[in-house]
Amino acid sequence: MATLRPFTSRDLEAILELSIRAWEPVFHSLEQVLGSKILRRMHPDWRADQRRTVKDACSSTDVSVWVADSDGDVVGFVGTRTDDEARLGEVYIVAVDPAHQRSGVGAALMELALEQLAYAGMTVAMVETGGDPGHAAARDLYEHVGFTLLPVARYFKAL
């Protein structure tokens, strides 16, 4: 099993690379659901967008990031942020390297994130994901650790 520890700047490149591997099937699924036209308008270069999103999360003072380390290799990460006034904690970003998915790493990261949010005084935690087939594993993980699904309808149209 992986060891969970706080993120350090030395982890960034490994996290960026694993996030691309982890989200590639998601973006493929989004293209199947939304169509190439809409996806390319939203994400002309999804890999660059993903790297920027992850890098911003890891460098933000508003996001707390932890990594899953297996024999010196980063195999997953999770980032949380809080709304202290609303006492709402958010699992803002999470990914597990595809080679380590369904091995308990994601669940361990989520449990750590929830513990940290509770310790910070949050009374409710939330996480968002897509309803497309590419996000099925994420939905399974969130339900596995006890989240309740609130269906939301979001529509897209190319202009």
DSSP-derived secondary structure for 35-85: -HHHHHHH-TTHHHHHHHHHHHHHH-TT-EEEEEEETTEEEEEEEEEEETT
What pLDDT does residue 15 have?
97
pLDDT along the chain (159 residues), means of 10: 94 97 95 95 96 97 97 96 97 96 95 98 97 93 96 91
Across the strands, what pairs with 89?
82, 125
Element (H, E) at 95: strand 88-96
What pLDDT does residue 69 have?
96
What pLDDT does residue 99 have?
94
In angstroms, rounded to a whole number, what is the distance separating the alpha carbons of residues 34 and 25?
14
What pLDDT does residue 1 have?
77
CB atoms within 10 A of CB 20: 16
Residue recorded with tokens 């996001």: 63
- Structure tokens belonging to residue 142: 């969130």
Across the strands, what pairs with 69?
3, 74
- Structure tokens belonging to residue 151: 């269906």
What pLDDT does residue 148 have?
97
